[in-house]
């Protein structure tokens, strides 16, 4: 089996289910683990994803119990459901036995584990990252100054994009179009636009000196890996992984909106759009990015 089934699951995960690059990558990793589990659990006779039954999914869920959080389990199960649905078995997936509650994946919190990186920690990590890779240091400051995801900052670290941001920031905003989740562009109003403009101008100078790219790498993946490795080597993991830079920016942005006289609800709605979540997810933004105990 396993090679045939795993290859078929991976193919579906990549081509039949949609989603951003990160979502597809996570889905592929999940279905690979699912196929390995089925082999180890004695279901080695399976050859085709269409042969997957309720018992197979329940078996995999049972193997995850106690090993990952309910939220992580729910995410993994959603990956499997997407692939199974692509085989035309959507009706089976509606069975009560395959609900998150029945499989032990209910009740997971979307609050997350990251916190906003304090300024003192930022100074420490930025110094350490820059010592290992000046390019990664520029990317880190772009993330912190513009509220970018790491992929957005890496993909945007080129002369063309940086020149666009430089012009836009002189008007107080930046249009994020590269590396975004789901390929959805967004226009972000930047409260601390002077810091953002300085970060972009410095990165642009580095890109110009390096033939057009801030990060000296042959491919986008190599550039991404170079930055991630520099972050990890500097200790930016766990609660202070790169997303905590975005959390810190979000809190700063929210405070700026409220200082302008906006209600907390309105400020959250504006922030949600700045982060690329849309204007209807203010509650989510408050819960994840602006937790008072985070």
The pLDDT of residue 56 is 95
Q: Return the closest-CA partner of residue 116 out of 249, 254, 222.
A: 249
Residues 90-99, mean pLDDT to the nearest whole number: 89
CA distance 294 to 281: 19
The pLDDT of residue 17 is 76
CA distance 285 to 294: 13
The pLDDT of residue 156 is 97
Q: Return the closest-CA partner of residue 204 out of 266, 152, 158.
A: 158
DSSP-based three-state secondary structure for 213 = strand
Residues 161-187, mean pLDDT to the nearest whole number: 92
Read off the pLDDT of residues 184-213 as tens digits, 9 standing for 90 and up.
899 999 999 899 999 999 999 999 999 999
When comparing pLDDT for 237 and 141, which is higher?
141
CA distance 197 to 209: 18
In the predicted model, is pLDDT for residue 111 greater than 80?
Answer: no
Helices (H), 16-53: 21-40
The pLDDT of residue 115 is 81
Tokens, residue 170: 């002189």
Residue 8 near residue 22, CB atoms below 8 Å? no
Q: Which range is least confidently modeled, 29-33, 71-75, 192-196, 222-226?
A: 71-75
The pLDDT of residue 3 is 61
> pTM of whole model > 0.95?
no
Mean of all residue pLDDT scores within the chain: 88
The pLDDT of residue 288 is 62
Q: Which helix (H) or strand (E) holds 82?
A: helix 70-85
The pLDDT of residue 165 is 98
Read off the pLDDT of residues 40-59 as tens digits, 9 standing for 90 and up.
998 888 989 999 999 999 99
Residues 124-148, mean pLDDT to the nearest whole number: 97
The pLDDT of residue 159 is 97
DSSP collapsed to 3 states, 231-251: HHHCCCCHHHCCHHHHHHHHH
Read off the pLDDT of residues 213-252 as tens digits, 9 standing for 90 and up.
999 999 999 999 999 999 999 999 888 899 999 999 999 9
**∠ CA 44-49-55 to the nearest 5 degrees?**
65
Instruction: Name all domains of the chain by residue range, CATH numbers in brackets.
Output: 2-103 (1.10.150), 119-288 (1.10.443)
CA distance readout (Å), 41 to 8, 63, 70, 203, 249: 19, 10, 22, 51, 46
> Judging by beta carbons within 10 Å of its beta carbon (0-12, 13-18, 19+), is residue 55 exposed, middle or buried?
exposed
The pLDDT of residue 1 is 45
Q: Which helix (H) or strand (E) holds 161?
A: helix 159-169
Interacting residues of 164 by C-beta distance below 8 A, sequence separation 6+: 175
């Amino acid at each position: 089996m396993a090679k045939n089934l795993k290859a078929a699951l991976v193919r579906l995960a990549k081509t039949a289910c949609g989603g951003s690059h990160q979502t597809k990558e996570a889905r592929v990793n999940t279905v690979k683990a699912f196929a390995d589990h089925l082999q180890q659990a004695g279901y080695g006779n399976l050859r085709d994803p269409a042969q997957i039954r309720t018992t197979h999914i329940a078996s995999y869920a049972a193997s995850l119990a106690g090993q990952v959080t309910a939220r992580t389990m729910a995410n993994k199960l959603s990956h499997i459901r997407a692939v199974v649905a692509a085989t035309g078995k959507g009706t089976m997936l509606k069975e009560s036995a395959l609900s998150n509650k029945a499989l032990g994946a209910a009740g997971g919190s979307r609050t997350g584990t990251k916190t906003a990186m304090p300024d003192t920690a930022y100074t420490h990590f930025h110094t350490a990252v820059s010592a290992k890779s000046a390019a990664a240091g520029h990317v880190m400051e772009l993330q912190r100054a513009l509220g970018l995801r790491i992929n957005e900052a890496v993909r945007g670290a080129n002369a063309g994009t940086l020149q666009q941001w430089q012009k836009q920031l002189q008007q107080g905003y930046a249009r994020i179009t590269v590396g975004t989740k789901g390929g959805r562009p967004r226009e972000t109003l930047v409260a601390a636009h002077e810091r953002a403009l300085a970060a972009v101008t410095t990165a642009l100078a580095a890109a110009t000196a390096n033939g057009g790219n801030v990060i000296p790498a042959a491919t986008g993946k190599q550039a991404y890996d170079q930055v991630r490795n520099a972050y990890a080597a500097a200790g930016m993991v766990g609660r202070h992984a790169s997303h905590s830079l975005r959390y810190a920016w979000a809190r700063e942005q929210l405070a700026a909106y409220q200082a302008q006289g906006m209600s907390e609800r309105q400020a959250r709605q504006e922030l949600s759009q700045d982060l690329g979540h849309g204007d209807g997810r203010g509650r989510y933004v408050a819960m994840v990015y602006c937790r008072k105990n985070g």
